[in-house]
Chains A and B, each alone.
Chain A
């Protein structure tokens, strides 16, 4: 009998319970046993347009936006919810698009960086990031801007933060509040001080 790689891996999975195999073999065996993709339909409104998709259920909202809808403004950084590059606004709230499945957003309204403004008609936050040089490489910028727009909304709605001195008074539109609320958006170039200046300017203009 020829022992193929596949046979070995499956056997490895069966014996794993009684024999302590190295964990990596079991992990590969699991992958070898994987079934075929399963599809599901989902409809959502993205940047004002109704979009119907038929997706592998495993597709994250981030991958649906980038790979299926070609909205590549939203970036994939860590893909584990740690960097914030994938931040989009779903039903009015900023979320990490990498940590949510597209099929969980049936009927939802999604706004990405492409939906906030256009090169001819910039959103005030986009214009402020340009004015204050709130980026270097630009990879984190779409997430930073979507997050920043939502942050000002959260302060306006009276949602407290870790930096709020009082839980019962309305939070203030000040740098310490903005810094704390933007901590889920990492910038490896370190453009933070200019980012805070850009957001602060929009905050003051809208106050």
Chain B
């Protein structure tokens, strides 16, 4: 790990302003992903700005009947919140399907959104990786790609976004609140937070330099049946091969988002009208234009079958 100066921020604006005063700073909250990457010298910040004292650890009701989740709310606390369990079950389920109890106790809401891919070539400095070292190439495309992306990927990068929580946030149309170093704030729809790789997979989000996420807001509850189904190699503590987040209403309409298949949570609103036509039709529209590798083409079938399973659960329940 490279040496760094450690600083504590007392407020969000303080953190963003502090970050802008030095080159090469990073915010740290849970640290579960950043510190791991620092040990491997994939992340090499000169300054770490600890935001744990910035007072962003509350979950509050919003005026329009939704919830505002502070950026520092731990994954455990978010999944255990009675309002989340009652009205946003898909979010609680997604959180509980991710990581381990120890990690969920540390990991934060904003950190979960911003976690980096677990592509093995990103983690191995001896391999070419356009995300870690722009222009070096992508070892994953012709490499071990079973876990990697099938849609939204590019010839420069096929990494997936590893989060479960973010898939549920995308399904729920969450909004991301931020503060910039000049103290101004803005709101980013979650659909616009993560970028597709294109030719610049090293640029992963629409956040500006030193912009700090302060909260994530959820709109008023959708009702319906909430399901998060995650398919993985182990029954617990493993990243998704494929996951499906769904809210399905009594009449069979609803919305779905996919995890484990793309560089961001994969939701295609225009495909959701296909929910009445079965999993195959829905899957075909969701994954139109997919470019799997020979190792991960099985995910096309796995998505369809996981969707079928989720839709059957909803049918059986009504």
Please tell me if A96 contacts chain B, counting CB pairs below 8 Å. yes
Are B133 and A26 interface neighbours, CB within 8 A? yes
A147 to B101, CA, bound (A): 9
B232 to chain A minimum Cβ distance, whole angstroms, is: 11
Size class of the A contact interface (CB-based, 8 Å) = 35 or more
Are A27 and B41 interface neighbours, CB within 8 A? yes
Please tell me if A60 contacts chain B, counting CB pairs below 8 Å. yes
Are A167 and B100 interface neighbours, CB within 8 A? no
Are A101 and B35 interface neighbours, CB within 8 A? yes
Closest to A167 in B: B85
A93 to B75, CA, bound (A): 13
Render A78-100 as a binary contact track against B, CB cut-off 8 A, 1 for contact: 01110010010000011110011
Closest to A80 in B: B36
Provided the pairs A80-B36, A96-B102, A168-B86 are in contact, do residues A180 and B136 lie with their beta carbons within 8 angstroms? Answer: no
A77 to B132, CA, bound (A): 26
Render A5-46 as a binary contact track against B, CB cut-off 8 A, 1 for contact: 000000000000000100110110011001111101000000
| Contact with A37, one of B3, B48, B128 (Cβ below 8 angstroms) | B3
| Contact with B125, one of A27, A84, A147, A167 (Cβ below 8 angstroms) | A27
Provided the pairs A79-B39, A87-B102, A99-B32 are in contact, do residues A36 and B136 lie with their beta carbons within 8 angstroms? Answer: no
Please tell me if A136 contacts chain B, counting CB pairs below 8 Å. no
Please tell me if B312 contacts chain A, counting CB pairs below 8 Å. no
Please tell me if B28 contacts chain A, counting CB pairs below 8 Å. yes
Please tell me if A73 contacts chain B, counting CB pairs below 8 Å. no
Render B28-67 as a binary contact track against A, CB cut-off 8 A, 1 for contact: 1001100110110100100010101000000000000000
| Contact with A23, one of B31, B89, B102, B136 (Cβ below 8 angstroms) | B136
**Which chain A residues border B101 with CB–CB below 8 Å?**
94, 147, 150-151, 154, 161, 181-184
**Which chain A residues border B105 with CB–CB below 8 Å?**
93-95
Are A20 and B135 interface neighbours, CB within 8 A? yes
Please tell me if B236 contacts chain A, counting CB pairs below 8 Å. yes
Closest to A55 in B: B6
Please tell me if B93 contacts chain A, counting CB pairs below 8 Å. yes
Closest to A91 in B: B105
**Which chain B residues border A27 with CB–CB below 8 Å?**
41, 125-126
Provided the pairs A20-B135, A20-B136, A95-B106 are in contact, do residues A101 and B6 lie with their beta carbons within 8 angstroms? Answer: yes
A154 to chain B minimum Cβ distance, whole angstroms, is: 7
Are B41 and A30 interface neighbours, CB within 8 A? yes
A95 to B126, CA, bound (A): 31
Please tell me if A56 contacts chain B, counting CB pairs below 8 Å. yes
Please count the residue pairs between chain A and chain B whose beta carbons lie under 8 angstroms apart in the complex. Answer: 134
| Contact with A168, one of B1, B38, B85, B234 (Cβ below 8 angstroms) | B85
Please tell me if B237 contacts chain A, counting CB pairs below 8 Å. yes
A23 to B99, CA, bound (A): 30
Are A57 and B48 interface neighbours, CB within 8 A? yes
Q: Which residues A146-197 have CB closer than 8 A to chain B?
A: 147, 150-151, 154, 157-162, 164, 167-168, 179-185
A73 to chain B minimum Cβ distance, whole angstroms, is: 17
B273 to chain A minimum Cβ distance, whole angstroms, is: 29
Provided the pairs A23-B136, A99-B31 are in contact, do residues A184 and B103 lie with their beta carbons within 8 angstroms? Answer: yes
| Contact with A104, one of B31, B126, B236 (Cβ below 8 angstroms) | B31
Are B100 and A183 interface neighbours, CB within 8 A? yes
A31 to B41, CA, bound (A): 9
**Which chain B residues border A38 with CB–CB below 8 Å?**
3-6
Please tell me if B97 contacts chain A, counting CB pairs below 8 Å. yes
Please tell me if A103 contacts chain B, counting CB pairs below 8 Å. yes
**Which chain B residues border A37 with CB–CB below 8 Å?**
3
Are A95 and B125 interface neighbours, CB within 8 A? no
**Which chain A residues border B69 with CB–CB below 8 Å?**
none
A164 to B316, CA, bound (A): 19
Q: Which residues B1-17 have CB closer than 8 A to chain A?
A: 1-6
13 examples of A-B residue contacts, CB within 8 angstroms:
A23-B126, A23-B129, A27-B41, A81-B102, A95-B105, A100-B35, A101-B6, A103-B6, A104-B31, A162-B96, A167-B92, A181-B101, A183-B235
Interface residues, chain A, with chain B CB atoms under 8 Å away = 20, 23-24, 26-27, 30-31, 34-38, 40, 56-58, 60, 79-81, 84, 87, 93-96, 99-101, 103-104, 147, 150-151, 154, 157-162, 164, 167-168, 179-185
- If A99-B32, A99-B36, A100-B106 are given as contacts, then 6 extra A-B residue pairs at C-beta distance below 8 Å, sorted by A number, are A35-B2, A57-B4, A80-B39, A95-B106, A154-B101, A162-B97
Interface residues, chain B, with chain A CB atoms under 8 Å away = 1-6, 28, 31-32, 35-36, 38-39, 41, 44, 48, 50, 52, 76, 79-80, 85-86, 89, 92-93, 96-97, 99-103, 105-106, 125-129, 132-133, 135-136, 234-237
